[in-house]
């Protein structure tokens, strides 16, 4: 098998190694390809010595069962790799890292091989990808366009097929904008769910590591390795409990394009095609007002919050170290101006606007937006650097400020990939649900995913029945029909309002299979659901005809005294339908 790795996914590396291809040979090929990368992609030479040491340690263990065994990757230049210089895109800031950042350590433990440091907008201050003394990496779709930043080199390396994934960071959109502009996937997890320890901060409480990949599956694989608490990071937290999506997800789209957004005709037309693709997945598309979100995002650079950038690296900027980008120095220097009073006022305004903006989650499960309202050319950025940069972040800057997560996925068509990306945004904690929807958009097929608790539904909670709303309100997912094993009897309970059946397990050979439905819901939702169930019904274990056992509705045996045995109807829905028939037809069924 060839070691030509251009464009390989993670699965291709697994297949090659399983077939006996040498890890050392593959990584040497990757290092050689990286050394020939266009100017501006890498900072310095590939990390050959480090990669070779890691390969030797990995192959000495001989086990292939690590999730990222022998898979090469790059890191953005603000992420520490032990023994290499972290410069955050500024030569005068560079210092040799004494240890790996937590994200690098976790990837290495999973078998991945770090092969180089990727270029970036200096100090992660920019979304254009042009604010670096190390050059501007080329946009892979159109070299006249900006590559996007600040994680420019990380995105371009993946888009060029040099590595299957890379690490960036994201505060205002740095892990999403370059993904969109180069036709790849960008995964920005929930803030705090992936450690920032060993990473040069930008706006520390809103910073988040991000992942670039060719497809959603690879991005999810990497994020799963990275996720988890870390005592080295004071903002680290476990992934917060997610609110399950509805069985048929509601996807919010802009009811209008606000004039301030500056949406180009090309982006609007492209988004209409994205909307059509979402409709083909059988999600519900609902129009919402995105203006409050834009107001939140404007605070990141347009208020005293910008002082957090000064708190991070303002001292070295003020010292006038070698290689400072003048635009970056201006932005960070301006953060020294606001007072503590200004900072608190900005926090109060953020809290007010956040409360308004977050009402959108009462209406929808996910927001679907273009990642950028337009593209930016290299020429336009040179002429209007602040305006063009601000434009690229209008639809991304709000996300971390309202504790949301996002995945960017390209619209791949027969005509190729355009320099736009669909951004799917949801409340923090819904990383897996949104990744599933992004994968469905990518593949054109939405698979129904079961949640933590499967519930067997027998009567009034069946679809189109009076109490089904209690499942829908808890965002339960309908999994399909089922049947119990043959050891149950079904009764129509007397005086139940609304009418309900009672399912009772009986001795072997004295019952019959009963038609049921299978639903799933989150653990917290299941707890509240169980509390709502009145006697004589309760939740117990129900055996299905295929041998599976799930929680479901059972009835106290004493409640069946005087109740009508309706077992022969085979299920509650059939019994209810029979009751509405004329007497002659009803007797024929019974």
β-strand pairing of 537-543 with 208-213 = unpaired
Cβ atoms of 79 and 212 within 8 Å: the answer is: no
Q: How far is CA 589 from CA 197, 219, 484, 490, 568, in A?
A: 69, 55, 21, 16, 9
Taking residue 574's Cβ as centre, other Cβ atoms within 10 Å add up to: 15
Of residues 565, 551, 545, the one with CA closest to residue 481: 545
User: Which residue in the list 84, 174, 210, 397 is annotated as catalytic?
Assistant: 174
Does the annotation count 174 as an active-site position? yes
Q: How far is CA 503 from CA 78, 513, 521, in A?
A: 61, 11, 21
CA 97 to chain centre: 30
d(CA 437, CA 367): 11
Cβ atoms of 74 and 167 within 8 Å: the answer is: yes
CA 152 to chain centre: 20
Does the annotation count 150 as an active-site position? yes
Cβ atoms of 571 and 545 within 8 Å: the answer is: no
Beta bridge partners of 253: 287
* Tokens matching residue 211: 């992942």
Give the single-character DSSP code of 139. Answer: P
Give the single-character DSSP code of 409. Answer: E
d(CA 423, CA 88): 26
Cβ atoms of 121 and 178 within 8 Å: the answer is: no
Q: 520 phi and psi, to 5 degrees?
A: -135, 155
Please spell the DSSP secondary structure of 504-573, one letter per residue: EE--TTS-B--EEEEEEE-HHHHHHHHHTPPTTEEEEEEEBTTS-EEEEEEE-GGGGTTPEE-GGG-SHH
Q: How far is CA 214 from CA 71, 137, 158, 176, in A?
A: 14, 18, 7, 13
User: Residues for the chain: how many in total?
Assistant: 590
> Which three-class secondary structure state does DSSP give residue 170?
strand
Q: How far is CA 22 from CA 14, 51, 58, 314, in A?
A: 11, 14, 12, 46
d(CA 214, CA 10): 9
* Tokens matching residue 252: 């919010």
User: Which residue in the list 84, 87, 132, 150 is annotated as catalytic?
Assistant: 150
d(CA 189, CA 406): 7
Taking residue 549's Cβ as centre, other Cβ atoms within 10 Å add up to: 12
d(CA 259, CA 495): 60
| Catalytic sites, residue numbers | 76, 150, 174
């Amino acid at each position: 098998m060839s070691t030509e790795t251009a464009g390989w996914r993670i699965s291709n590396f697994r297949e090659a190694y399983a077939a006996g291809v040498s890890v050392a040979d593959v990584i040497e090929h990757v290092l050689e390809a990286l050394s020939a990368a266009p100017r501006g992609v890498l900072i310095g030479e590939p990390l050959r010595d480090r990669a070779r040491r890691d390969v030797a340690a990995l192959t000495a263990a001989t086990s292939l069962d690590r999730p990222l065994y022998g898979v090469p990757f790059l890191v953005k230049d603000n992420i520490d790799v032990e023994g290499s210089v972290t410069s955050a895109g500024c030569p005068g800031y560079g210092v040799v890292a004494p240890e790996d950042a937590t994200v690098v350590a976790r990837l290495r433990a999973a078998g991945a091989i770090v092969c180089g440091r990727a270029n970036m907008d200096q100090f992660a201050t920019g979304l254009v990808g042009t604010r670096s003394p190390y050059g501007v990496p080329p946009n892979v779709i159109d070299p006249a366009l900006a590559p996007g930043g600040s994680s420019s080199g990380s995105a371009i390396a993946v888009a060029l097929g040099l590595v299957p994934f890379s690490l960036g960071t994201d505060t205002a959109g740095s892990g999403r904008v370059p993904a969109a502009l180069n036709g790849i996937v960008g995964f920005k997890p929930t803030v705090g769910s992936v450690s920032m320890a060993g990473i040069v901060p930008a706006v520390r409480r809103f910073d988040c590591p991000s992942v670039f990949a060719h497809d959603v599956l690879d991005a999810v694989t990497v994020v799963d390795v990275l996720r988890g608490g870390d005592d080295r990071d004071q903002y680290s937290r476990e992934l917060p409990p997610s609110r399950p999506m509805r069985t048929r997800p509601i996807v919010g789209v802009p009811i209008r394009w606000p004039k301030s957004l500056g949406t180009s005709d090309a982006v609007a037309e492209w988004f209409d095609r994205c909307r059509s693709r979402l409709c083909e997945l059988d999600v519900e598309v609902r129009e919402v007002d995105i203006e409050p979100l834009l107001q939140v995002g404007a605070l990141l650079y347009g208020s005293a919050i910008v002082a957090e950038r000064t708190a991070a690296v303002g001292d070295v900027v003020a010292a006038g170290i070698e290689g400072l980008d003048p635009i970056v120095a201006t932005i960070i220097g301006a953060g020294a101006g606001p007072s503590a009073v200004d900072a608190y006022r900005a926090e109060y305004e953020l809290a007010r606007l956040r409360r308004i903006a977050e009402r959108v989650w009462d209406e929808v499960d996910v927001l679907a937006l273009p990642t950028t309202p337009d593209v930016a050319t290299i020429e336009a950025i040179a002429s209007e650097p602040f305006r063009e940069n601000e434009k690229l972040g209008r639809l991304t800057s709000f996300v971390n400020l309202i504790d949301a997560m996002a995945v960017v996925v390209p619209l791949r068509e027969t005509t190729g990939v355009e320099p736009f990306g669909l951004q799917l945004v949801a409340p923090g904690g819904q990383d897996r649900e949104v990744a599933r929807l992004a994968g469905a958009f990518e593949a054109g097929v939405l698979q129904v995913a079961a949640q933590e608790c499967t519930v067997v539904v027998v009567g009034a909670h069946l679809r189109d029945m009076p109490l089904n709303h209690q499942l829908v309100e808890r965002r339960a997912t309908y999994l399909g029909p089922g049947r119990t094993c043959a050891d149950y009897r079904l009764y129509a309970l007397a005086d139940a309002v609304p009418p309900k059946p009672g399912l009772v397990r009986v001795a072997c050979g004295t019952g019959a299979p009963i038609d049921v439905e299978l639903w799933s819901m989150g653990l917290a939702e299941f707890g509240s659901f169980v509390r709502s169930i009145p006697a004589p019904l309760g939740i117990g274990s129900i055996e299905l005809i295929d041998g599976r056992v799930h929680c479901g509705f059972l009835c106290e045996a004493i409640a069946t005294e005087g109740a009508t045995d309706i077992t022969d109807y085979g299920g509650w829905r059939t019994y209810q339908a029979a009751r509405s028939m004329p007497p002659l037809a009803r007797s024929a069924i019974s």
